[in-house]
Amino acid sequence: MSAPGTSIDRLIAQERSRPARMAASLRRTARDLRGSRAGMLGVAVLVLFGLLALLAPVIAPQDPNASTSFSPEIMLAPSSDHWLGTDANGRDVLSLVLYGARISLLVGLSAALVSSIIGALVGICAGYFGGWTDRLLTAIDDWFLVIPFLPLAIVLAALLGERAQDWPLGQVSLLILVIGATGWAGTSRIVRSQVLSVKERAYVERARALGARSPHVLRRHILPNVLPVLFANTVLIVAVSILTESTLSFLGLGDPTRASWGTMLDEANEAGAMAQGAWWYFLPPGGCILAVVLSFTVVGYALEELVNPALRKRRA
């Protein structure tokens, strides 16, 4: 009689200590990330842009979304009055860049979150339950992988554009949903592979043998082992989401009433900034997109090396 009780007590002790182990794992990951120079440089750049976006109303010379920001001083070169010049509507380009960071980062982070949630749910259900559930979800996953991501996002954004005008954030909400709902397939495939590996481990089989139900196993054993890989992949998805938002906004599918880096490039193109040599109009938003996307990509790959044993061995 003592053996079953001992096993149950041991399992309970393991469950109670799991939050502490997860916290220790996060601290260890953060410590290892500090050992990556490229990863820390990427984090520093992202923190800088995050602070600029949050403090935009304080440090920006003007609110470019306000009607009072328009002036007859159009396409002026950088000066002491306008450090990055003015645009085709007489607005301060520095203010546009700072406020544009808020929308671009908001869309990128939110769309990546939506994509990760959908991909995680599909991947966990497919990998854990198997059978016809796996076959059905994998078929849907394959369909989204085969269909080109960007054209599908363009079509959905164009079709739903008018309906989004009454949404809380207007076109911004539409971009978040469209990018998130069309970019989850790769995440689902990664999560499914991880779940297939985790569910065959001894402690999962032991939990099932002791009578643990599927919700308990998923919450206590599957999800904690999937989260590190999911988090690293989400960081990479943010970069893709920001690029997609910039592309959709450049094509005129963004919100014209809110400044973003993509809408800035669209307006600069419409105004013929490149033909006129107005480099201050298109280089700052383009450079910001490049810097943020590269930073998210570098941090994502650094995290992926930390959570993927195969990559750690290859690096060593």
**Structure-token pair, residue 167:** 């949404």
Residue 168 lies in a domain: yes
Residue 42 lies in a domain: no
- Which ranges of the chain does DSSP label H, i.e. alpha helix? 2-34, 37-54, 56-59, 93-129, 131-146, 149-159, 171-182, 185-198, 202-209, 214-217, 223-250, 261-270, 273-276, 279-307, 309-315
For residue 26, is pLDDT > 50? yes
Dihedral angle at the C-alpha atoms of 241, 244, 250, 252, nearest 10 degrees?
Answer: -100
- Domain region containing 188: 52-60+85-315
pLDDT for the residue 303: 86
Which residue reads 């490229």 in tokens?
A: 38
Residue 136 lies in a domain: yes
Q: What is the DSSP string of 90-130?
A: S-BHHHHHHHHHHHHHHHHHHHHHHHHHHHHHHHHHHHHH-
Residue 295 lies in a domain: yes
Instruction: Give pLDDT tens digits for 128-186.
Output: 998 999 999 999 999 999 888 888 888 888 888 777 777 777 788 889 999 999 999 99
The count of domains in the chain is: 1
For residue 280, is pLDDT > 90? yes
Domain of 173: which CATH number? 1.10.3720.10
Residue 80 lies in a domain: no
Residue 28 lies in a domain: no
pLDDT for the residue 294: 95
Residue 311 lies in a domain: yes
Task: Give the residue with greater pLDDT, 23 vs 261.
Answer: 261
Q: Which residues pair with 92 in a beta bridge?
A: 86
CA 51 vs CA 57, 95, 142, 159, 205: distances in Å: 11, 14, 39, 35, 46
The DSSP 8-state label assigned to residue 68 in this structure reads G
Residue 150 lies in a domain: yes
- CA 144 to centroid of chain Cα atoms: 18
Note the pTM of the prediction, 2 decimals: 0.86
